[in-house]
A and B are shown apart, each in its own frame.
Chain A
Amino acid sequence: EPEVTQTPSHQVTQMGQEVILRCVPISNHLYFYWYRQILGQKVEFLVSFYNNEISEKSEIFDDQFSVERPDGSNFTLKIRSTKLEDSAMYFCASSTRDRAIYNEQFFGPGTRLTVL
């Protein structure tokens, strides 16, 4: 069964550095999302993306964040200058046109970002 994949599984970076988190959504999916989960807290929505543009973003998704679909398969989240509080598990998700009606989102395994 096709799955969403994410790389790397764990990223350690220094404060102020740029990081790019990568996701490969399920191939026939059209809608893409990033969520994050700070340790011990709830899963929070960051951004949704459709047709090569952002559809919705949360207050967390400030100017330090950007998303891109550089080719037909990858979906990336960039954090320009990481802060300590960006340390979290970042989840990518995708959904199809049909199932988007029901918002069945398929999640990747997550990337754990640690900012030192």
Chain B
Amino acid sequence: AQRVTQPEKLLSVFKGAPVELKCNYSYSGSPELFWYVQYSRQRLQLLLRHISRESIKGFTADLNKGETSFHLKKPFAQEEDSAMYYCALSGSTGFQKLVFGTGTRLLVSP
């Protein structure tokens, strides 16, 4: 079964604090993992994907196949990071549906 689990509905931190949004997955095979972000009143947009190994807006995520995790991290949170974050997976062969987690709302307070 394909499943993405984000255990935290809400994560509240102060500006400058480190952030880790947890994501665990279940998939038989080699999935592709993504983080999507939705800022207030905006559309879902891709933040980063494991295959590109990029750092976007200071965020990084490492795929840990042993722990089936893809946690999103940022060393110093900014107020503009406040948003809804969704972890998602798809098959690796291209043109596959996305399976989303339930999302974590990140609130960064001044």
Residue of chain B at shortest CB distance from A101: B94
B50, chain A: closest CB distance, angstroms:
10
Are the CB atoms of A48 and B97 closer together than 8 Å? yes
CB < 8 Å: which of B46, B86, B99 contacts A104? B46
A108 near B: Cβ within 8 Å?
yes
A112 smallest CB distance to B (angstroms)? 12
- Cα distance A63–B103 when bound, in Å? 29
How many A-B residue contacts, CB cutoff 8 Å? 59
Asked whether A107 lies within 8 Å of B45 as measured between CB atoms, the reply is: yes
Check if B96 sits within 8 Å of A43, measured CB to CB: no
Chain B: interface residue total (CB-CB under 8 A): 23
Q: Is the CB of B86 within 8 A of A100?
A: no
- Distance between Cα atoms of A81 and B108 in the complex (Å): 43
**Contact in complex: B45, A102 (CB < 8 Å):** no
Give chain A residues whose Cβ lies under 8 Å from the Cβ of B51: 102
User: Interface digits, A39-68 against B, CB 8 Å rule (1 contact, 0 not)?
Assistant: 001111100101000011010000000000
Asked if B95 and A102 sit within 8 Å, CB to CB, the answer is: no
Q: Check A91 against B44 for contact (C-beta < 8 Å).
A: yes
**Interface size class of chain A, counting residues whose CB lies under 8 Å from the partner chain:** 20 to 34
User: Given A103-B90, A104-B46, A108-B43, is A45 in contact with B98 using a C-beta cutoff of 8 Å?
Assistant: yes
Check if B25 is an interface residue, CB within 8 A of chain A: no
Nearest A residue (CB) for B49: A102
Q: Does A31 have its Cβ within 8 Å of any Cβ on chain B?
A: yes
- What's the least CB distance linking A26 to chain B, in Å? 12
> Contact at A45–B97, with CB atoms within 8 Å?
yes
Q: Which residues of A contact B (CB under 8 A)?
A: 3-4, 31, 33, 35, 41-45, 48, 50, 55-56, 58, 91, 95, 100-110
Other A-B contacts than A35-B100, A45-B97, 5 sampled, CB-CB below 8 A, are A101-B94, A102-B49, A102-B52, A102-B94, A107-B45
What 9 pairs across the A-B complex have the smallest Cβ distances?
A107-B44, A45-B97, A43-B100, A101-B94, A100-B95, A103-B90, A42-B102, A109-B43, A100-B94
